[in-house]
Structure 1
Amino acid sequence: MRFLKNHFSMYAHLPKEIYVLAFGKLMTSMGALIWPMLTLIMSEKLNLNGQTIGMYMMMFSMFMGPFYLLGGKLADKYNKKHIIVTFDLIGNSLYFVCAALPISMTTLYLLAIASVFQSMEQPAYDALIADLTTYKERERAYSLNYLAMNLGLVMAPMLGGMLFNNYLNLSFFINGLADISSTLLLLFFIKNVKNTISDSKTVNEYEKGEAGSIFKVFSKRKLFFLLFIISGIAAMIYNQFNFLMPLHMEEAFRGSGAFKFGILASINTVVVVIGTPMVTKKFSGVTDVRIMYFGQLLESVGLAFFIFVNRYFVIAVVGIIIFTTGEIFGSISKTPYLTKRIPETHRGRVLSITNSCAGLIGILSNYVIGILIDYYTFHTVWIIIAAIGVVVMILYSIYLILDKKAYPGLYLE
C-alpha cells in the first residue's frame, strides 16, 4: 500500500476535473477491444493482403485529416465539453451498429465514420486538459491521462484476442458500451470551461493569447515545420506497433498470432502503468525535447529486436518492453512541449494540425510498408524501420539546438 501511495503521489493536487477526465479515459480504454485488432480484422476476417490493408489505412487517415483539423478550429471557437460529448455520442453509437451486423466491408466503413467523429473531439480533449492546468502542472496532467488510458488497456487487448475468432461482434458491443459510459461521466461531472485572463503563474511568456489567424501563429514559429517532419517520421515508426507487428506475429506464430499480439499489447500497457509515474517523476526537470529524444531512441531500439523474431516469442517480449519505455517518454512530453510554445487562443488548431501532419505521414508510410511486406521478408522490413529510426535521432539532435535558440526562456527554469 505504501508503494502504491508513493508511486502515484506525484499526481496529487491537480484540478479535480483532471481526475474525472482520467477516470473517463480509464473506462474508455477498458473497452477498447477493436482498434488494437483492426489490422487483423482486415487480414483474417476480410482476407485483405498487406498492400490493400496499407491502402485502406492511408485512405482512412486522408479521410479523417480534414475533420481532425475542423475539430481543432471548433475547439478554439466553441465550448470544448459540448464538442467532446456530441461527437463522442455520435461516433460511439456506430459501434452498436457494427455489433448487430455480420463482419464485412460495411463494418470497416462504419468504423471509418466512427473514427471521424472521435478524431474531431480529440483536439478539444487535449486543449481542455491544458485549459484546466497551469503550465507547471501540465506534464503531470497529461501523464495521468496517458496512465489512465493504458491502465484500462491492461486486459483489453488480451480479451480482444480471445474474442477475435468467434465473438468479434461482442467486442464491438463492449467497446461501444465503455465509450458511452465515459462520455456520460464527462457530461455530468465536468463543468463548462471558459478561457480566463491568464497570468505568469498559469502560462509562460510563449503561450499568452494572440490575435490573428493560425497562419500568423505559424509564421512566428517556423521551427514547427521541422517538428512536423520529425513527428511524421516518428509516427511512421510508432505505427508499426499496430500495423507491422500483428502481421509479423500472425506469420511467425500461425494460428495464435492474434493471441500473441494481444499478449504483447497487454505487456505494453502493464509497462506503461508501472513506468509512467516513475519516468514522469524522475525526468520532471528535463527539457521536453530531450525527453522526446530519449523516447524515440528507445522506441527504435525496441522495434529493432523484431528483426530477430522468428519463432522465439521471448525476443518479441524484450523488444516490446524497451519500445514501451520509449513510448512513455514520448507520450509525457510531446503535448506539453507544444502547449508551452503556442498561444492559448490557438491550442486546438495547432494541436490538430501537428497531430494531423504526423498522422498523415505515418499512415501514408503504412501503404509503402504494406507493399514492402508483400515483396520482402519481415526481417528485411524491420531493418528498414530501424534505419529510419537512426535518421529521426539525427533530426532530433538538430532540433534540440534550434529549439533552445527559439525558446530560451523555457531553458532557464
Structure 2
Amino acid sequence: MKFSPKNSLFPWMPQLNPQVWILAFGRFLSEVGTGFTLFYAPIFFVNHVGLSATAVGFALGSASISGVVGRILGGSFSDSQYWGRRKTLLLSAAISAIASLVLASANNFTVLVMGNLLVGFGQGLYWPANESVVADLTVPEQRHEAYAITRLADNLGLGMGVVLGGALISTTGAYRSLFIIDAISFVVFFGVVYFAIKETYKPVDAKVAISLKSSWQIALSDRRLLIYVLVNIIFTTYISQLQSTLPLYLKNFVALNASGAEFTEGTISIIFGWHLAVAIFTQLPVVRGLKRFTHPQSLMFSAVMWAMGFCLMWVTGVATDYQLWWAIAALSVFAMAIVSYTPSASALITELAPKSQLGVYFSISSLCWAAGYFIGPPLGGWALDQTPAFADNFWLGLAASVTVLLGILDYLDQMLKDRI
C-alpha cells in the first residue's frame, strides 16, 4: 500500500494513502476550533464566571465519565459491519458541535458539567474510529509516520486556534464566541468526513469472526495491553495538566517578571503557540529518529522529557526573574514529550491488536485518556486551591512520578522482546 506521486511538491513527506491526508486536513480544521477554547476555558470559568478552580477542574474531568461510554461504543461501532468507522466519526462530530454550543451558554456549574459530558462523549466516539481508519489505510512500516502526520495536523490546528483565540480575547474579551467558533469547526469536520472519507472497515470472514463480548474479553485478558493501559493513564494524566492546570497556574500564581506583572491571556497564548510550533517542527524528525527503537523505548524517551518539563515548570514558579523564559523552556520540552509519545502509543496498539479487534483495542487505549482526564484536572485544580508553595511543588511531585513510569515501561519492553 504505497502512494508515491512523482510530482509531489514535498518529496520529503511520507507517501501515504490520500485519504490519510484528507482526514488529517479535517482534523486540522476541527482542532483550530478546539484551540480557541482548550487553554482559555479554565481561565474563563474561574476568573469570569466565578467558579472555584476545584469546581472547574471537576467539571472538566466529568468529560471522562461520558468519555468512557463514548469510547466503549466508539470501539464497538468501529468494528461493527453495520456501523463502521465513517458513521462513528460523523456521529462524533455532530455531538461535539452540540457540546460546544452548550458550553457557549454555560453560566453555572450544572450547565458546565452538562457541556463537558457531551464533550467527553463526542471525543470518546472519535478516537477509536479515527485511529482505526489510519491503521486500515497503512501498512505497519508506515504507521509511525502516518500517526505523526495526523498529530502534526492536530498541532497545526491547535497552534492556529490558540494564537487566534488569544488575539480575539485580548482585543474583545468575548470568551463565549470561542465556543461558537469551536462548534463551527466541528460542523466543517463533519462535512469533510461525509464528502471525502470512505468506509475503511472490512468485515472479517464469518468463520473467524468473534462476538463483541468475546472481543472485549480477549482484549482485557491480554497482559501486554493491560500494562500498556497503566502506562497510558499516567501519560494522559500528564497531558491533562498542560491543558487544564498549567494555564491557570501561569495566570494566577506566576509573575511575568521581577516587577510582579501578571501573565495575561495574550502572553499565555503566545507561550502555548510557541509550544505547538515546537511540536509542529519536531514531529516528523523526532518520529523518524525514534524508529530505530522499540515502542516502549520511544515512550521512555517521552517520559524523561515529561520529567524535565515538570522540573522547568517548578523553576518557572519559584524563580525571581526570567519567568517568561523558564515557561517557554518548559513548554518547549513538553512539546518534545508529546510528539514522542502519541505516534509511538498508537503504533504500539496496532502491534498488539489482532486485525479483527483493532477498534476494541483502540477503544481501550482511548479509555486511558478518559481515565487520565478524569484524574488530571481535579487533581490539578485541587493543587491550585492550596497554598502557593504547594502549587509550586506540585510540579516536582509529577516529575518524581516519572521514575515509576520508567520502571513499568522497561518491564513492558522486556515482555514484548520475550514474545518475539
TM-score of the aligned structures, taking structure 1 as reference length = 0.87
Find the residue that maps to 2:51 and give its secondary structure.
Answer: coil
Amino acid at match of 1:211: I
Contact 1:228–1:358 under 8 Å retained in 2:
no
Aligned length: 392
Distance change (3 Å), C-alpha of 1:47 and 1:364:
same
Match of 2:74 in 1: 71
Amino acid at match of 2:266: F
Distance change (3 Å), C-alpha of 1:328 and 1:8:
farther
Deviations 1:168-202 (A, max 9, x none): 1221222222221122112111122231779xxxx
Match of 1:369 in 2: 380
Match of 1:25 in 2: 27
Which residue, 349, 367, 374 being the options, matches 1:338? Answer: 349
Is structure 2 residue 399 aligned with structure 1 residue 386? yes
Distance in 2 of aligned mates of 1:299 and 1:138:
24
Moved more, 32-41 or 384-393: 32-41
Distance change (3 Å), C-alpha of 1:214 and 1:229:
same
CA deviation after TM superposition for structure 1 residue 337, in Å: 0.6
Match of 1:265 in 2: 272
CA deviation after TM superposition for structure 1 residue 104, in Å: 4.2
CA deviation after TM superposition for structure 1 residue 164, in Å: 3.5
Distance in 1 of aligned mates of 2:114 and 2:203:
41
CA deviation after TM superposition for structure 1 residue 97, in Å: 5.5
Contact 2:124–2:366 under 8 Å retained in 1:
no
Match of 1:144 in 2: 149
Find the residue that maps to 1:13 and give its secondary structure.
Answer: coil
Match of 1:217 in 2: 218
CA deviation after TM superposition for structure 1 residue 58, in Å: 3.1
Is structure 2 residue 297 aligned with structure 1 residue 294? no
Is structure 2 residue 338 aligned with structure 1 residue 327? yes
Amino acid at match of 1:227: Y
Structure 2 runs not aligned, ≥5 long: 1-6, 256-260
Contact 2:250–2:268 under 8 Å retained in 1:
yes
Q: 1:82-97 alignment to 2 at 5 Å?
A: 82-96=87-101
Amino acid at match of 2:200: V
What is the root-mean-square deviation of aligned Cα atoms in Å? 2.5
Distance in 2 of aligned mates of 1:380 and 1:348:
40
CA deviation after TM superposition for structure 1 residue 362, in Å: 4.4
Find the residue that maps to 1:154 and give its secondary structure.
Answer: helix
Distance in 1 of aligned mates of 2:62 and 2:112:
15
Q: 1:78-227 alignment to 2 at 5 Å?
A: 78-96=83-101, 98-99=103-104, 101=105, 103-105=107-109, 106-164=111-169, 166-195=173-202, 211=210, 213-218=214-219, 221-227=222-228
Find the residue that maps to 1:286 and give its secondary structure.
Answer: coil
Contact 2:72–2:364 under 8 Å retained in 1:
yes
Match of 1:404 in 2: 417
Match of 1:284 in 2: 291
CA deviation after TM superposition for structure 1 residue 8, in Å: 5.7
Distance change (3 Å), C-alpha of 1:12 and 1:361:
closer
Structure 1 runs not aligned, ≥5 long: 199-208, 409-413
Distance change (3 Å), C-alpha of 1:136 and 1:52:
same
Distance change (3 Å), C-alpha of 1:395 and 1:188:
same
Contact 2:238–2:376 under 8 Å retained in 1:
no
TM-score of the aligned structures, taking structure 2 as reference length = 0.86
Is structure 2 residue 55 aligned with structure 1 residue 56? no
Match of 2:4 in 1: none
Distance in 1 of aligned mates of 2:342 and 2:310:
17
Distance in 2 of aligned mates of 1:368 and 1:83:
31
Distance change (3 Å), C-alpha of 1:345 and 1:58:
same
CA deviation after TM superposition for structure 1 residue 102, in Å: 6.6
Distance in 1 of aligned mates of 2:9 and 2:305:
23
Amino acid at match of 2:247: P
Distance in 2 of aligned mates of 1:332 and 1:170:
33
Distance change (3 Å), C-alpha of 1:330 and 1:31:
same
Amino acid at match of 1:18: V
Distance in 1 of aligned mates of 2:96 and 2:61:
20
Find the residue that maps to 1:193 and give its secondary structure.
Answer: coil
Find the residue that maps to 1:332 and give its secondary structure.
Answer: helix
